[in-house]
């Protein structure tokens, strides 16, 4: 794990970078506004996504991977991801923690900067070994936040403070998923979906071929107030 220091960071998207609606408002960036500066306590984040080999030590009968034991685990539900982190004395990161770990103090739209470069992260058809894409490394030293698999967070899908966007999906029905991922479809890849502030969401019981997770933990016993 690596320590993400306490302090402010920029969360959300400026309207100038807004993602055009694709199919519906659900796939727009309106749920990631307004852009605002928020402050988090210090926390620790896993440097790598949890691997299939690590996960099956917790759940030996799991059969979710498509490849090597060292590949990130895929197809786990939020409940399984949460249980795994708790088993280790850790927890899932909140979506704000995830975004800070990825965007860094400069507020980058991608871990490497503000210009999309498809070759800098794994947006291909299959998962890769951890750190296979050396450019997919945040300023805090966390790998594969921009590609490989998307990741469950601890957070319910709720509006940001000050948001005027209305979504019937808001509430304690869906968990937020963060980060770009592999894309098995021939069509449908949009670079905007790889933006670090982009918020996806799903029911916690869902298992998806492009979604895994990593763990976090508090830096101290008094640090239990992160959004």
Segments making up each domain of the chain, as ranges: 2-218
pLDDT band at 189 (very low <50, low <70, confident <90, very high): low
pLDDT value at residue 64 = 72
Output the pLDDT for position 23. 46
| Mean pLDDT calculated for residue range 54-83 | 89
Alpha-carbon span 68 to 88, nearest angstrom:
22
Could you tell me what percent of the chain has a pLDDT over 90?
Answer: 72
Mean pLDDT in residue range 166-195: 84
Is the pLDDT at 5 greater than 70? The verdict is yes
Given a contact cutoff of 8 angstroms between Cβ atoms, the answer to whether 127 and 149 are in contact is yes
Question: What pLDDT is recorded for position 165?
Answer: 87
Q: What is the mean pLDDT of residues 99-107?
A: 95
Flag whether pLDDT at 121 surpasses 80: yes
CA–CA dist 67, 52 (Å, integer): 9
Tell me the mean pLDDT in the region 80-92: 98
pLDDT band of 61, cuts 50, 70, 90: confident
What kind of architecture, by CATH, is found in domain 2-218? Answer: Alpha-Beta Complex (3.90)
Over residues 50-69, mean pLDDT: 85
For 130-169, b/e burial (b = at least 16 CB within 10 A) is beebeebbbebebbbbbbbbbbbbbbebbebeebeeebee
Rounded to two decimals, what is the model's pTM?
0.91
For residue 56 the two structure tokens come to: 């099956």
Report d(CA 51, CA 128) in Å as an integer.
Answer: 11
The residue that leads in pLDDT, 194 or 96, is 96
């Amino acid at each position: 794990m690596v320590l993400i220091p306490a302090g402010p960071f920029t969360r959300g998207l400026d309207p100038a970078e807004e993602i055009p609606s694709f199919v519906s408002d659900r796939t727009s960036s309106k749920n990631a506004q307004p852009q605002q500066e928020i402050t988090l306590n210090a926390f620790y984040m896993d440097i790598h996504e949890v691997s299939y080999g690590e996960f099956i030590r917790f759940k030996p009968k799991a059969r979710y991977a498509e490849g090597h034991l060292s590949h990130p685990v895929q197809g786990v539900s939020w409940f399984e991801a949460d249980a795994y982190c708790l088993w280790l004395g850790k927890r899932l990161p909140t979506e704000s923690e995830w975004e800070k770990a990825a965007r860094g103090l400069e507020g980058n739209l991608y871990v490497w900067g503000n210009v999309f470069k498809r070759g800098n992260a794994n947006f291909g058809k299959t998962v890769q070994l951890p750190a296979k894409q050396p450019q997919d490394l945040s300023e805090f030293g966390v790998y594969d936040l921009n590609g490989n698999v998307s990741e469950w967070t601890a957070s319910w899908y709720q509006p940001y403070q000050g948001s005027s966007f209305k979504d019937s999906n808001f509430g304690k029905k869906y968990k937020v998923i963060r980060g770009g991922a592999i894309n098995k479809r021939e069509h449908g890849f949009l670079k905007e979906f790889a933006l670090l502030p982009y918020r996806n969401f799903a029911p916690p019981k869902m298992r998806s071929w492009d979604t895994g997770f990593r763990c976090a933990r508090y830096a101290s016993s008094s640090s239990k107030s992160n959004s």
